[in-house]
Amino acid sequence: MTERSTVPAPSERKVVLYRNGSVYSAADPLATAMVVDGDTVAWVGSEQAASSIADSSMEIIDLHGALVAPGFVDSHVHLTETGIALDALQLGGVRSARQLLDAVAATRGEGPVLGHGWDDSAWEDPALPTADELEQAAGGRHVFLSRVDAHSALVSSSLVGAAGLAGLDGYDSGPRVLRAAHTAARQEARRLPDSSLRGYQQRALREAAENGYVAVAEMAAPHISGVADLRLAAAWNTDAAEGAVPEVLPYWGQLATSEEHARQLLDGLGVPVRGLAGDLNIDGSLGSRTAALRDDYTDAPVERGNLYVTAAQAGAHLAACSLLGIQGGFHVIGDAGLDAALEALELAAAEVGEQRIRAAGHRFEHVELADAGAVQQLARYAVTVSAQPRFDAEWGNDGGMYQQRLGDRSRSMNAFASFYSAGVPICFGSDSPVTPLRPWSSVRACLEHHNHDEQISARAAFLGHTRAGWRAARYQNPMAGQLVPGAPASFAVWDVEELMVQVSDGRVQSWSTDPRARTPLLPALDTGTDPACLQTVRDGQELFSSPALRS
CATH number at residue 184: 3.10.310.70
Q: Is residue 398 part of a domain?
A: yes
Asked if 68 contacts 521 with a C-beta cutoff of 8 angstroms, the reply is: no
34 and 86 both lie in a single domain: no
Is 116 within the bounds of a domain?
yes
Return the pLDDT at 240.
65
SS3 label, residue 185 = helix
Q: Domain check: are 492 and 388 in the same one?
A: no
Report the alpha-carbon distance of residue 538 to residue 235 in Å, rounded: 17
- Provide the domain limits for residue 146: 79-189
Kindly state whether residues 302 and 353 are assigned to the same domain: yes
Q: Are residues 265 and 345 in the same domain?
A: yes
CA dihedral over 510, 331, 127, 189, signed as positive or negative? positive
How many structural domains is the chain composed of?
3
Per-residue pLDDT at 241: 63
Q: Is residue 505 part of a domain?
A: no
Shortest CA distance to 364 belongs to which of 302, 299, 290, 415? 415
Same domain, 181 and 277: no
Task: With respect to residue 385, please indicate whether it lies within any of the assigned structural domains.
Answer: yes
Which pTM value belongs to this model? 0.93
Q: Is residue 342 part of a domain?
A: yes
**What's 289's DSSP letter?**
T
| Residue that terminates a domain, selected from 139, 161, 189 | 189
- What residues of the chain score a pLDDT lower than 70? 1-12, 240-241, 502-518
Query: Do 162 and 285 share a structural domain?
Result: no
Measured CA to CA, the distance from residue 522 to residue 100 in angstroms comes to: 40
State the CATH number of the domain containing residue 48: 2.30.40.10
Say whether both 391 and 321 belong to one domain.
yes
Listed residues 148, 174, 189: the one ending a domain? 189
**Whether residues 131 and 164 fall in one domain:** yes
On whether both 400 and 333 belong to a single domain, the answer is yes
Domain presence at residue 208: no
b/e string for 304-340 if b means 16 or more Cβ within 10 A?
Answer: bbbbbbebebbbbbbbbbbbbebbbbbbbbbbbbbbb
* 329 and 369 fall within a common domain: yes
Domain end residue (candidates: 189, 206, 235): 189
* CATH code of the domain containing 365: 3.20.20.140
227: buried, middle or exposed (CB in 10 Å: 19+, 13-18, 0-12)? middle
Q: Is residue 467 part of a domain?
A: yes
Same domain, 328 and 462: yes
Residue 181 included in any domain: yes
**Which residues, including other chains, have CB under 8 Å from residue 517's CB and lie 6 or more apart?**
none
Specify whether 65 is located in the same domain as 83: no
Q: Which pLDDT does position 237 carry in this prediction?
A: 94
Q: What is the pLDDT of residue 11?
A: 42
